Amino acid sequence: MAVPKRKSSKTRGRKRRTHEKAARPSLSVCPSCGEAKLPHRMCPHCGTYNGREIVAEEKKENE
């Protein structure tokens, strides 16, 4: 059975892991309130999407 000849060093392992990163979320700007929001999604700050109100403001605060 093939087996590693050497233990991989701390440096080597860490170098390999430099590419393991969390992806940055792609955000867009809400056209009605200007806050950052996820694209193609209702704005969680003002409850609108494409200029339409989906969730009333009061209801949002209770959540």
Partner 1 sequence: MRHRHKGRKLNRTTSHRKALLRNMVTALLDLEQIETTDAKAKELRSITERMITLGKRGEDDLSARRQALRVIRSKKIVAKLFNELGPRYADRPGGYTRIVKVENRRGDGAHLSIIAMVKEPVTFKDMKHKRAMLEEEAKLREASERKVEEEPVETPEDVEAVEVEEAAAEEAAVEEATADKGEAVADEPEAPADEKPEKKED
- Specify the residue for token string 């950052």: 36
> Should residue 16 be labelled a site residue for partner 1 when binding is judged by CB under 8 A?
no
Provide, rounded to whole angstroms, the least separation between the CB of residue 20 and partner 1: 20
Burial of 43 (C-beta count, 10 Å sphere; 0-12/13-18/19+): buried
Of 15 and 41, CB closest to partner 1:
41
> Should residue 27 be labelled a site residue for partner 1 when binding is judged by CB under 8 A?
no
> Should residue 33 be labelled a site residue for partner 1 when binding is judged by CB under 8 A?
no
Asked if 43 contacts 54 with a C-beta cutoff of 8 angstroms, the reply is no
Which stretches of the chain bind partner 1, using CB under 8 A?
38, 40-42, 44, 49, 54-55
